[in-house]
Amino acid sequence: MIERIAFGKTGHQSTRTLFGAAALGGMRQEKADQVLELLLRYGVNHLDTAASYGDSELRIAPWMKTRRDDFFLATKTGERTYDGAKASLHRSLERLGVERLDLIQLHNLTDEEGWQTAFSSDGALKALVEARDEGLVRFLGVTGHGTRVAAMHTRSLERFPFDSILLPYNFTMMQQTAYAADFEALLERCLSSGVAVQTIKSIARRRWPETPARRFSWYETLTEKEPIERAVRWALGRPGIFLNTSSDARFLETTLETAASLGPPPSEDEMRTETARLGIEPLFVPGHDGVA
């Protein structure tokens, strides 16, 4: 079974590997139910979805009818205004078939204009705080992509005491000096103040060099078993953080297997060798922070 640790100050012991439910976005319910069985087998007890993940919330809804108490349930809203965020949250509750969420997150809050709007007197944060006060959600978080995300999360935490953050963390991203410095400062702040740190893109390989005929993620993932295992062990080698699984469900079991039987993290030399061999590249670099 996968190790469980405190999800910040929420009081919940979450598995260190959280299920990234973007993987359910285009699935049929029958296939999604097979994913549920896999999660239960490894003891995964934390689901992370979003309003923008296709049919993901709808695929999770049948699970909630019989398994609600087995999972910490998180979703996200990309809305920045009060009215938009309020409507988004209520729509997610309806789509998920639940009366209360454990966590609602401001999704990809990294651009200045969106940040200013979300924190304004008529912004999304006000709606989420009201929802928390009304008992519709227990905790609030913020997520993001790109090279500016760690610095932006630091700004967000200075403005409001979020319960969790989410951002990219893998070997190639951490080879960028500025990103690594921002990440380390943010991580220190979060671990010292009880803010849960969720990480994404652990098994990312690079952006697609060309558009494939069929793809399960906007970026190309690692596909070989040993490189995936190495990448997962590297990410989970950092104490106190959580790893959200990839939107490409084909590699979910390998990720969970690795997390369940976690060995020591690979060395820096091993990771450099693997990076060169497989042509692994950071998904985000300055000036190229968007999601394809």
Three-class DSSP labels, the chain: CCCEEECCCCCCEEECEEEEHHHHCCCCHHHHHHHHHHHHHHCCCEEECCCCCCCHHHHHHHHHHHHHHHCEEEEEECCCEHHHHHHHHHHHHHHHCCCCEEEEEECCCCCHHHHHHHCCCCEHHHHHHHHHHCCCEEEEEEECCCCCHHHHHHHHHHHCCCCEEEEECCCCHHHCHHHHHHHHHHHHHHHHHCCEEEEECCCEEEECCCCCCCCCCCEEECCCHHHHHHHHHHHHCCCCCEEECCCCHHHHHHHHHHHHCCCCCCCHHHHHHHHHHHCCCCCCECCECCCC
Domain count, the chain: 1
Is 260 inside a domain boundary?
yes
Q: Is 288 part of any domain? A: no
The domain of 88 spans: 4-278
Is 290 a domain residue? no
User: Are 73 and 99 spatial neighbours (Cβ–Cβ below 8 Å)?
Assistant: no
In a domain, 289, yes or no: no
Q: Write down the pTM of the prediction.
A: 0.96
- CATH number of 67's domain: 3.20.20.100
Distance CA 33, CA 24 (A): 10
Q: What is the pLDDT along the chain (292 residues), one digit of tens a residue?
A: 999 999 999 999 999 999 999 999 999 999 999 999 999 999 999 999 999 999 999 999 999 999 999 999 999 999 999 999 999 999 999 999 999 999 999 999 999 999 999 999 999 999 999 999 999 999 999 999 999 999 999 999 999 999 999 999 999 999 999 999 999 999 999 999 999 999 999 999 999 987 766 677 889 999 999 999 999 999 999 999 999 999 999 999 999 999 999 989 999 999 999 999 999 999 999 988 887 6
Position 256 in a domain: yes
Residue 283 within any structural domain of the chain: no
Q: Which residue has the tokens 């039987």?
A: 261
